[in-house]
Structure 1
Amino acid sequence: MLIALQDITFEFGSRVILEESSWHIEPGDRIGLIGLNGTGKSTLLRIINGEYSVSKGSVNKSKNLSIGFFNQDLLSFETDESILTVGMMAFGKALELEKDIERITKELEHSQTDELLHEFSDKLHEFESLDGYNMKHKTAQVLEGLGFSTADLDRPYSQFSGGWRMRVLLARLILQQPDVLMLDEPTNHLDLPSIEWLERYLTSYNGAVIIVSHDRFFLDRMVNGIVEVYQQQLHHYSGNYSDYEVEKDLRREMQQRAYENQQDYIRQQERFIERFKAKASKAAQAQSIAKRLDKLERIEQVDNGPSKIRISFSVDKMPGKILATLSGVSKSFGNNVILKNTSAEINRGDKIALIGANGKGKSTLLRIIAGEESFEGERTPGHNVVTSFYAQHQLESLDLNSEILDELKNCGSGKTELELRQLLGCFLFTGDDVFKKIRILSGGEKARVALAKTIISQANFLMLDEPTNHLDMNSVQMLIDALNKYEGSLVLVSHDRYFVSQTANKIWEIVDGEIKEFKGTYAEWEEWKKRMAANNAPATVKSNPQGGNTTAAEPKKETKQETPKGAINKEVQRELQKQQKQFSNVEGQLANLKARKAELEGTMSSPDIYQDKNKFASVEAEYNDVLKFLQRAEQQYEELFDKIMKLEASLTN
């Protein structure tokens, strides 16, 4: 066991954060630490780190235990050293030895005593055992894995923004390889390739890992256990975040059932006491029951957590079929070419996710679409398009002297104060928080106000740049639900893969200055990328018993004349066009069937339908038919999708 928290209680003033809670951390644990904002997750990490002392209970750690803690406070670190040097600070002992070895080497030039030679030999041996010769290579490897280029490694740490500094500090921490690695929102400052690199790294990490994160995808892939801070207690679950959700629902159901059974028992006993407490023959029994009730350990009613307030978008007017067209767009910053003579079209109903590594131009492209960035080429807006753009720089448009509630009232949405307060509750502003002045809010709080303003704008075209950055899981889910019901179109940039997977129906990726469009969900795009990677993998070389080597992927040569490649490609393209046309037709059928299914479900949910037996039978029969057709259409959709993927793959080879 690495760490044992035994019956700990921790208080801030009169507020109890944790009460008689226990947690044992073992080697190999991968724990997701979760809970609503303000419940004490970061506080618990600081207790483990030794920064806070508990008022009751004990915190025991194994001898010589090393703990690494990644958190926002690390940003107070300042230096003009290169980021490579900062990263190599993880190898403190090896760096000291390196200096000693350099000193002894100089001394040996003038005096080669036995004592000095022994010291030199010992230092070299220790330096080698610490893998000191590879520390520069290891540091560069981790920094580049987290998104830095080779040229960046020699740049001063002080030249980088806060987000990139956090990456350097994360690299330094994981290079230290502590026994317990605690990460507080590690993915907040990372793009998708860097998150995927971190996942691969942590998968093979030898120590225990504790992660606080609002990134469900990350938790699902990384953890084998969940600890939830809930009602001043630590609740333990096995499995990843998805497993936790299933198990928690079962626990809540059992607790609610037990609560209701106990309440029935209490009511029965109280009725008996009330009825017989004045009757001499039953008074003693009534008194005994009353004492038992006083000692009874009461089961708490299930707390359903934050109310499931639904965020709703209202669209003021319907736009034309095409919302925006980009033609021959080019954009560069000095020698950094972002876009090069690329074109794209945004259609009504599109929900597009712009994904990829930082620095590829996602936010720049978003500003070009919004008309807020200069560029070469042409941008043609569609008919009746009403745009609302959410990005960090939009925070500047907030009136610093306004209260939060007034800032939303002044948007002219027509919503009542109650509706606005409910909306602000979704973005973590509750009670008197809504009367805070904008000027005293943190950057994250201002971002949430700006996002709330975007939602009530009545726009039919939304552009969202990292909208989930300052939201908890509950708020992210409410935003997802709202965007899925939103009748308008949107383009979003986000590194939150769960958010993207739940909202987007198209993927845009900037590759070599061009916009590459994938029609499908994030999961389908990931699957397609894997297929492409597998198809483009280098052929494996196998030894040939007759001498020489053969390539495994190389087909056996035939003597017959082969069809020219160009002719094959034309044939494949014709077949691809045919399948794409069928795919489009099936997509339309699916949309119509789903719409009809929803209509029939609405009809069947009405009590009036059951008053007419024949009408109900007719609706039920049609509903069953629609389900059958829907199942066939979905199967056909998947088959056509696979065919298209294979045909596209064959064209790229």
Structure 2
Amino acid sequence: MIRVENVSKQNSHRLLFIEASATLQKQEKVGLVGPNGAGKTTLFRLLNKEEQPDEGQIAVERGITIGYFSQDVGEMAGRSAVAEVMDGAGPVSLVAADLRELEAAMTDPERADDLDRILDRYGEVQARYEELDGYSLEGRAREVLAGLGFSQEMMDSDVGVLSGGWKMRVALARILLMRPDVMLLDEPSNHLDLESLIWLEQFLKGYDGALLMTSHDRAFMNRIINKVIEIDGGTLTTYSGDYEFYEQQRALNEKQQQAQYERQQAMLAKEIKFIERFKARASHAAQVQSRVKKLEKIDRVEPPRRRQTVAFEFQPAPRSGDDVVSLKNVHKRYGSRSIYEGFDFVVRRKERWCVMGVNGAGKSTLLKLVAEAAAPDEGTVALGSSVKMGYFAQHAMEVLEGDRTVFQFLEDSFPQAGQGSLRTLAGCFGFSGDDAEKKCRVLSGGEKARLVMAKMLYDPPNFLVLDEPTNHLDMATKEMLIEALSSYEGTMLFVSHDRHFLAALSNRVLELTPDGIHKYGGGYLEYVARTGHEAPGLRT
């Protein structure tokens, strides 16, 4: 369907692709992977004809429809969410627009003399609309929006009042409703909660077109894709299989290439040693010349390109008392909506509670109550003795001073720390090299989140309260965070939509449902095994 043929592309002074080639065939579901800045979004723009290659070509089969979801959704306002989604449904939305125009023309007194022609045209367009299943369009649009977490009220409200994250979901719903021959999805899992993520996973599994997607959620990607295209060092390398297979195969390839490189280096050293030893002897001149020519003809094996990964280790946190936080008879309402009524909950030292529940169940509210960012209407929330709490939420980024650089922010936070350790800390959270000199005001939302987390974890509290800590983290940073938190000896209470994060770090589950609040010993994997579903209200 789509062929990338010997494409080279340069942005500013950065060479992104060097004679890169790959294919996307019918019904293939492909994961596009590579380090940040490797050119994933540029490749999407090339495939969508928003940019042109400097050399080579992108060949697309005639008549193929392409739907592209990017993180830049543009302005949306003046229409309901459902109308916005229906407007992006491809050919059927154009036919629907024709119908609306003809319906207006039929009631226009100034066009009464032309009514017969308008009626004939209306019959033709209506037949085409029926052929495209247009009369079920609104129902299908609402079904997609519901799957992505919209209530009926939100579907019918002006999309302009929605937050950026919800507008992203509207833009994604437009592509899903369109069902093009090829979907290009750049980070579709961002801004989704666990329930919406699992719904999207099932939708994409059942989608019969070709799919090319990026995602920082490895579990999400692994369950959908059957092929991986890796961007690294300007080339595209294809692996058949899911993400897990790709990781294993890439590691094996690296190991084999390293062994081949080392064998060749040993052989070269031996030949060079012979040449150096005998080059001055006339009796060995022919042998020396023969070996020099042999070395000139050898194709040199390159060592494998190793992606730079930096490990992060916690400093030991001070020990807290055995009871870390206690909620007694807590009531909390927002307007007429009751979130908690007589809620009792205790978190004990070294417990790692993940909090699960559908949108509006009270997950973030619980974390705010514990962190004293919100007060209960009735009841008490009490921290235990010697508890040093670290609270991470998306609004935490507001504390960053705009004119300070990333590194200055860390220096201000830890004036006694050495520059080397702070540079290592910055590198762990994605601010290596020149990125550490960026001013805080130009950072993206994801970069701000990483910086706030870096500050919190450098001098670790003994009680971490984390609301969606993995939002915007790439896979490498997420893996580093999981590894670091695995050895953390404090207590955790957290909300996350990332199943890999949930499975790796939780040892207790608090499930908030309309039927009541349920507590499970054991972590997320035990919860799934016992309940038979991956999130409240969903069946596997």
TM-score normalised to structure 2 length: 0.93
Encode CA deviations 1:327-381: one digit per residue, 9 max, x unaligned: 1111121122222221111000111111233322211110100111021211121
Distance 1:116 1:322 in 2: 76
Q: Residues 119 and 395 from structure 1, CA distance in 2 versus in 1: closer, same or farther, beyond 3 angstroms?
A: closer
Q: Residues 336 and 113 from structure 1, CA distance in 2 versus in 1: closer, same or farther, beyond 3 angstroms?
A: closer
Q: Give the C-alpha shift of residue 409 in structure 1.
A: 3.3
| Residue aligning to 1:328 | 329
Encode CA deviations 1:139-173: one digit per residue, 9 max, x unaligned: 11111111111122210010110001111111111
Q: Give the C-alpha shift of residue 80 in structure 1.
A: 1.0
Q: Give the C-alpha shift of residue 197 in structure 1.
A: 0.9
Q: For residue 396 of structure 2, give the secondary structure of its aligned residue in structure 1.
A: helix
Encode CA deviations 1:463-500: one digit per residue, 9 max, x unaligned: 11111112211111111111111110011111111111
| Residue aligning to 1:409 | 411
> Mean Cα displacement is larger for which, 503-512 or 304-313?
304-313
Distance 1:149 1:192 in 2: 16
| Residue aligning to 1:440 | 442
Contact persistence 1:341–1:514 (CA under 8 A): no
Q: For residue 211 of structure 1, give the secondary structure of its aligned residue in structure 2.
A: strand
Contact persistence 1:460–1:488 (CA under 8 A): yes
Encode CA deviations 1:95-145: one digit per residue, 9 max, x unaligned: 134225525765999789986665343222211111011111111111111
Q: Give the C-alpha shift of residue 65 in structure 1.
A: 1.6
Is residue 2:358 matched to residue 1:351? Answer: no
Counterpart mapping for 1:351-390 below 5 A: 351-376=352-377, 377-390=379-392
Q: Residues 303 and 66 from structure 1, CA distance in 2 versus in 1: closer, same or farther, beyond 3 angstroms?
A: same
Distance 1:500 1:157 in 2: 32
Is residue 2:190 matched to residue 1:208? Answer: no
**Superposition CA RMSD, Å:** 2.4
Q: For residue 38 of structure 1, give the secondary structure of its aligned residue in structure 2.
A: coil
- Counterpart amino acid of 2:61? S
Contact persistence 1:340–1:513 (CA under 8 A): no
| Residue aligning to 1:510 | 512
- Counterpart amino acid of 1:77? E
- Counterpart amino acid of 1:320? G
Contact persistence 2:102–2:118 (CA under 8 A): no
> Mean Cα displacement is larger for which, 264-273 or 83-92?
264-273
- Counterpart amino acid of 1:442? S
| Residue aligning to 1:77 | 75
Encode CA deviations 1:508-540: one digit per residue, 9 max, x unaligned: 12223854221112122122221799xx99xxx
Encode CA deviations 1:46-76: one digit per residue, 9 max, x unaligned: 11111221122221110012111111221x2
Q: Residues 443 and 100 from structure 1, CA distance in 2 versus in 1: closer, same or farther, beyond 3 angstroms?
A: closer
Counterpart mapping for 1:58-457 below 5 A: 58-74=57-73, 76-89=74-87, 90=89, 91-99=92-100, 102=103, 106=107, 118-280=120-282, 282-316=284-318, 318-376=319-377, 377-412=379-414, 415-457=417-459
Q: Residues 283 and 135 from structure 1, CA distance in 2 versus in 1: closer, same or farther, beyond 3 angstroms?
A: same
- Counterpart amino acid of 1:82? S
Distance 1:292 1:335 in 2: 84
Is residue 2:31 matched to residue 1:29? Answer: no
Identify, as 1 or 2, the structure richer in helix: 1
TM-score normalised to structure 1 length: 0.77
Contact persistence 1:342–1:514 (CA under 8 A): no
How many residue pairs get aligned? The number is: 532
Distance 1:56 1:286 in 2: 43
Distance 2:366 2:217 in 1: 25
Distance 1:358 1:531 in 2: 16
Distance 2:500 2:245 in 1: 16
Q: Which runs of 5+ in 2 are unaligned?
A: none
Larger Rg: 1
Q: For residue 517 of structure 1, give the secondary structure of its aligned residue in structure 2.
A: strand
| Residue aligning to 1:600 | none
Distance 1:496 1:71 in 2: 20
| Residue aligning to 2:503 | 501
| Residue aligning to 1:56 | 55
Q: Residues 259 and 460 from structure 1, CA distance in 2 versus in 1: closer, same or farther, beyond 3 angstroms?
A: same
Q: Give the C-alpha shift of residue 307 in structure 1.
A: 3.2
Q: Which runs of 5+ in 1 are unaligned?
A: 538-653
Distance 1:278 1:19 in 2: 43
Which of structures 1 and 2 has the larger relative contact order (alpha carbons within 8 angstroms, sep 6+)?
A: 2
Is residue 2:525 matched to residue 1:526? Answer: no
Q: For residue 472 of structure 2, give the secondary structure of its aligned residue in structure 1.
A: coil
Q: For residue 140 of structure 2, give the secondary structure of its aligned residue in structure 1.
A: helix
- Counterpart amino acid of 2:80? S
Contact persistence 2:95–2:125 (CA under 8 A): no
| Residue aligning to 1:16 | 15
Q: For residue 430 of structure 2, give the secondary structure of its aligned residue in structure 1.
A: coil
Distance 1:469 1:40 in 2: 21
Distance 1:338 1:347 in 2: 23
Contact persistence 2:261–2:303 (CA under 8 A): yes
Percent of matched pairs sharing the same residue: 37
Distance 1:421 1:430 in 2: 7
Distance 2:53 2:480 in 1: 36
- Counterpart amino acid of 2:364? S
| Residue aligning to 1:39 | 38
Encode CA deviations 1:525-562: one digit per residue, 9 max, x unaligned: 122221799xx99xxxxxxxxxxxxxxxxxxxxxxxxx
> Mean Cα displacement is larger for which, 509-518 or 476-485?
509-518
Distance 1:471 1:532 in 2: 22
Contact persistence 2:275–2:292 (CA under 8 A): yes
> Mean Cα displacement is larger for which, 248-257 or 280-289?
280-289
| Residue aligning to 1:646 | none
